[in-house]
Amino acid sequence: MSEIITKDNERVKRFFHSLDLMLDKVEVFTASYCPTLKGERFLTDAEVSERLKVSRRTLQDYRTTGKIPYFQLGGKVLYQESDIQKLLDTNYNKALE
């Protein structure tokens, strides 16, 4: 069992062949991938409150005052990730030098 494993070892060759096959499949998948909902990610109020480090009640205030855009489907509130990023970008205050 003290065999030195090299790139010419049959198990190593099979392993790398399997990796090549998987890479081919991944490339086919990514070439034909069509994102759903225009590629946009939607976040729940719990996810947004965690990312912004604010309470869910504060998010409700932001919605009520129009500070943050959102979708409401029934009782579910969703936010576009790009809208959250825009909100952060527009409210960024650069430090004084």
What is the rounded CA–CA span in Å between residue 83 and residue 69? Answer: 7
Domains and CATH numbers, the chain: 1-33 (no CATH), 37-90 (1.10.1660.10)
For residue range 37-88, list pLDDT tens digits in order.
778 889 999 999 999 999 999 999 999 999 999 999 998 999 999 999 999 9
- Non-local (6+) Cβ contacts of 8 within 8 A are none
pTM of the shown model: 0.61
- Non-local (6+) Cβ contacts of 77 within 8 A are 44, 45, 63, 70, 71
- pLDDT-derived band at 4, boundaries 50, 70, 90: confident
- 42 forms bridges with which residues in the sheet? 80
